[in-house]
Amino acid sequence: MVKWIQISLRADEGWSDNRIVEALGVGLSTAERTHRKFVELGLEGAITNHQPRHKYPRKLNRQAEVHLIALVCGLLQKGMCVEA
């Protein structure tokens, strides 16, 4: 999910799919699919409507996931986190 959010944030900044692929090390089809969803739904819609493809049980429930995302985004905005 973290990569997916990073792709959406880069798309929001106007990055091309190829630039996203090179910077984040994801496949082109992943970047294109995520970018397309971002264009269709906007940043907030793309993040809240994300449906992972995995079939294993979630380690975090939706509420905990939303809280974690908000916490990380807040830390990034304050400059307290460094991207890997």
Q: What is the pLDDT of residues 38-72, one digit of tens each?
A: 888 887 777 676 666 667 777 788 888 888 888 88
The Cα–Cα gap between 58 and 65 comes to 10
Q: Which of 19, 18, 20, 16 is nearest to 6 (CA)?
A: 20
For residue 23, what pLDDT is reported? 94
* Global pTM value: 0.53
Q: State how far the Cα of 15 lies from the Cα of 80, in Å rounded to an integer.
A: 23
Cα–Cα distance for residue pair 37/80, rounded to 1 Å: 29
